[in-house]
Amino acid sequence: MSIPLVPSETLPKIELLSEIARLKKEKNAVILAHYYQDSEIQDLADFVGDSLDLSRKAAATDADVIVFCGVRFMAEVAKILSPDKKVVLPDMDAGCSLEESCPPDEFGKFRAKYPDHICLTYINCSAAVKAQSDIIVTSSNAEYILNQLPQNQKIMMAPDRHLGAYLSKKTGREMVFWPGSCIVHERFSEKELIKLKTEHPEAPVTAHPECPEHILRHADHVGSTSSILKFVLENPAEKFLVATEPGILHQMQKNAPDKTFIGAPGADGNCNCNQCPYMALNTLEKLYNCLNTLGPEIEVDEITRIKALAPLNKMLEMSPAQVPTAAKSGRAF
Ligand code: 13P
Ligand code: SF4
């Protein structure tokens, strides 16, 4: 039976939550959410994780509908891996600055300049860029995959130059980089971070590899969102400075309520400016509407999908076995 569209703004919060739960069951939908989503969305998701965790979940689900609470490239990956599922995204404008920095035509010309280089492409890009790549990587498997390539293999990496520079330094491999970056991770201020470290000398610093080198050099740990979460939960320290999007702090506070987590500051000393504006477009109301109407729906044309599937499958084959670092139904396991 189809449900009449109720304007979500007329529903009180509690009803909105129960309507979302009811629609999810009725439509046999699964809600996948990234750690940068609003805490209320993380709490009602069936699974919360990083890009690699979410790709694996999308490939394995037996739900009819995948409601992707994240950004568009993540939902596109779900569609590429699960073409028979309906994949919906609460707000189709939820893009990514890395994706925007790498237009497919320009990327094609860049690739053509280095015909003897293997192209490792960060998952934060469009399906059309994936379709022109050799292997897709995420921040949690890039180093592991890179280490499987023969030493004499020439490498190019797109679109995040900071992740590329970090990997090149860590593995000692030379690479050609596409000059893209994440607007969120670029905003952290080294001066403010040093000030914060001086105020909290006992607190280890954990950072995402999308941060520039001047932030990463102050980090005790560098990793994907899942890896950052694992680090703070397992490390005996009681206080941490966290240089990534502040949405991740929700899982930290929830899973380690006795520890203190301080978001790394931007240039004005305030970490709120480091919220991802694309992730923030998804709201509970839009999630409700999305489940109700089963739209906006992600579409990837079949030729692009088949071409993008090959480097994504290569990534899944070359990734380490799954490690239990993500949070499920709002709880770490
Ligand atoms: P993770 O794969 O580490 O979750 O990163 C995704 C992302 O967009 C970071 O900005
Ligand atoms: Fe893209 Fe940066 Fe937002 Fe991640 S945090 S989705 S890389 S803009």
For residue 329, the model assigns a pLDDT of: 34
Q: Above 80 in pLDDT, residue 327?
A: no
Out of 177, 201, 231, pick the residue that ends a domain.
177
**Residue numbers of the domain that contains 65:** 8-94+279-301
For residue 159, the model assigns a pLDDT of: 98
Q: Above 90 in pLDDT, residue 268?
A: no
Q: For residue 52, which atom of ligand 1 is closest to its CA?
A: 2
Q: Is residue 330 part of a domain?
A: no
Per-residue pLDDT tens digits for 307-316: 999 999 999 9
Query: What gap in Å lies between CA 75 and CA 30, rounded to an integer?
Result: 13
Q: Above 80 in pLDDT, residue 328?
A: no
* 182 Cβ closer than 6 Å to some ligand 2 atom: yes
Q: Is residue 316 part of a domain?
A: no
- Residue 333: pLDDT band (50, 70, 90) is very low
For residue 1, the model assigns a pLDDT of: 38
Q: Above 80 in pLDDT, residue 280?
A: yes
Q: Is residue 333 part of a domain?
A: no
> Ligand 2 atom 2: the closest Cα is on which residue?
182
Out of 145, 177, 209, pick the residue that ends a domain.
177
Whether residue 21 sits in one domain with residue 79: yes
Q: What is the mean pLDDT of the chain?
A: 93
Q: Give the residue among 232, 323, 249, 261 at the shortest CA–CA distance from 37.
A: 249
Tally the domains of the chain: 3
Q: Is residue 200 part of a domain?
A: yes
Q: Which residues sit with their C-beta closer than 6 Å to ligand 1?
A: 50-51, 124, 138-140, 182, 208, 210, 224-225
Q: For residue 227, which atom of ligand 1 is closest to its CA?
A: 3
CA of 324 to the centre of ligand 1 (A): 17
CB atoms within 10 A of CB 161: 20
Whether residue 293 sits in one domain with residue 226: no
Out of 177, 197, 229, pick the residue that ends a domain.
177
For residue 324, the model assigns a pLDDT of: 40
For residue 273, the model assigns a pLDDT of: 67
> Ligand 1 atom 8: the closest Cα is on which residue?
124
- Residue 12: pLDDT band (50, 70, 90) is confident
> Ligand 2 atom 1: the closest Cα is on which residue?
96
* 50 Cβ closer than 6 Å to some ligand 2 atom: no
Per-residue pLDDT tens digits for 94-141: 999 999 999 999 999 999 999 999 999 999 999 999 999 999 999 999
Whether residue 138 sits in one domain with residue 71: no
Distances (CA, A) of 95 to 44, 113, 299: 22, 28, 15
- Which whole number is the average pLDDT over 248-275? 89
Whether residue 88 sits in one domain with residue 19: yes
Mutate to test the pocket of ligand 1, among 37, 48, 50 (most ligand atoms within 8 A of CB): 50
Per-residue pLDDT tens digits for 220-261: 999 999 999 999 999 999 999 999 999 999 999 999 999 999
Contact 68, 75 (CB under 8 A): yes
Whether residue 209 sits in one domain with residue 164: no
CA of 4 to the centre of ligand 2 (A): 35
CATH number at residue 35: 3.40.50.10800
> What one-letter code names the amino acid at 28?
N
Whether residue 216 sits in one domain with residue 192: yes
Whether residue 113 sits in one domain with residue 164: yes
CB atoms within 10 A of CB 321: 4
* 73 Cβ closer than 6 Å to some ligand 2 atom: no
Q: Above 80 in pLDDT, residue 9?
A: no
